[in-house]
């Protein structure tokens, strides 16, 4: 496997673009996607933090803390954004708190504009059962947009093997809707790669995986999956919905 360094990419860092335009970011992302395909996650992470500096964050659902851990090793102190919907399982919040207490990262919990009680008052109780897109917009999408206003680029833990909808995830992409660069350092990893990394570094993992959950989101919209089932089949199982809107 060829190790591609940021210098090897022939890319300039954003220091050369005090106010990078969408065109600058798109061109940077395209070059990086080609050059970093096949590179180790650590190399992709280093390129991202070298390139974007403080204008970069990691986002984490706290299903596991693998991506946050990779960045904590190559860029200590990096911001880790967690969307605290108010509807997470206690096990998810435990991973968030363990990450904050044990890793050299800066965890930022971003909350929706309305509490769950305020949302119930305005839209009626259990909006997630009637209009999950609306609920996801208010509790996940809008808070993410608000958090990302501070950054030019962000990292996710998306992987190609998670579902058919994620099969073509590039390691670096330009998100034209947000005008930002999205970095997916473990896009090419398999579940086995994740398990090996977790075991090697003793990374915090959501305890619900051991109880039969294949993919973990808010408790009202997550159910256990059967062996052999698509791990994301347990998300919004009563609806056609497969994504919360953060990655589309």
Query: Could you give the residue numbers annotated as active site?
Result: 244
By CB under 6 A, how many residues form the interface with ligand SF4? 13
Asked if 221 interacts with ligand SF4 (CB under 6 A), we say: yes
Residue closer to ligand SF4, measured from CB, 217 or 234? 217
Binding mask 173-212 for ligand SF4 (x = CB under 6 A): ----------------------------------------
Q: Which of 25, 36, 78, 218 binds ligand SF4 (CB under 6 A)?
A: 218
Asked if 85 interacts with ligand SF4 (CB under 6 A), we say: yes
Asked if 153 interacts with ligand SF4 (CB under 6 A), we say: no
DSSP codes, the chain: -PPPPTGGGTPPPGGG-SS--HHHHHHHHHHHHHHHTT--HHHHHHHHHHHHGGGEEEE--SSB-HHHHHHHHHSTTEEEEEE--S-B-HHHHHHHHHHHHHSSEEEEEE--SS-HHHHHHHH-S-HHHH-HHHHHIIIIIHHHHHHHTT-SEEE----GGG-GGGTT--SEEEETTTTEEEE-TTTT--HHHHHHHHHHHT--B-GGGGGT-SS--BGGGB----TTS-GGGGBSTTSS----SS--
Q: Which of 61, 217, 225, 232 binds ligand SF4 (CB under 6 A)?
A: 217
Asked if 83 interacts with ligand SF4 (CB under 6 A), we say: no
Asked if 244 interacts with ligand SF4 (CB under 6 A), we say: yes
């Amino acid at each position: 496997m060829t190790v591609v360094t940021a210098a090897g990419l022939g890319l300039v860092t954003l220091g050369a673009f005090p106010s990078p335009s969408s065109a600058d970011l798109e061109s940077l992302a395209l070059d990086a996607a080609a050059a970093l395909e096949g590179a180790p996650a650590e190399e992709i992470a280093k390129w991202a933090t070298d390139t974007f500096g403080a204008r970069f964050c990691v986002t984490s659902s706290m299903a596991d803390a693998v991506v946050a851990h990779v960045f904590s090793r190559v860029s200590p102190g990096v911001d880790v954004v967690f969307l605290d919907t108010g509807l997470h399982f206690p096990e998810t919040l435990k991973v968030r708190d363990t990450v904050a207490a044990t890793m050299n990262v800066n965890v930022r919990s971003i909350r929706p504009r309305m509490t769950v009680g305020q949302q119930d008052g305005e839209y009626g109780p259990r909006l997630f059962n009637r209009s999950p897109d609306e609920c996801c917009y208010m509790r996940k999408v809008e808070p993410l947009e608000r958090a990302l206003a501070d950054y030019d680029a962000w990292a996710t833990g998306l992987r190609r093997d998670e579902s058919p909808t994620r099969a073509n995830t590039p390691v670096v992409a330009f998100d034209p809707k947000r005008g930002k660069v999205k970095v997916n350092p473990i896009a090419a990893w398999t579940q086995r790669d994740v398990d090996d990394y977790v075991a090697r570094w003793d990374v915090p993992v959501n305890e619900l995986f051991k109880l039969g959950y294949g993919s973990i989101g808010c408790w009202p919209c997550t159910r256990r999956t059967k062996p052999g089932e698509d791990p994301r089949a347990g998300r919004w199982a009563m609806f056609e919905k497969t994504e919360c809107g953060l990655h589309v």
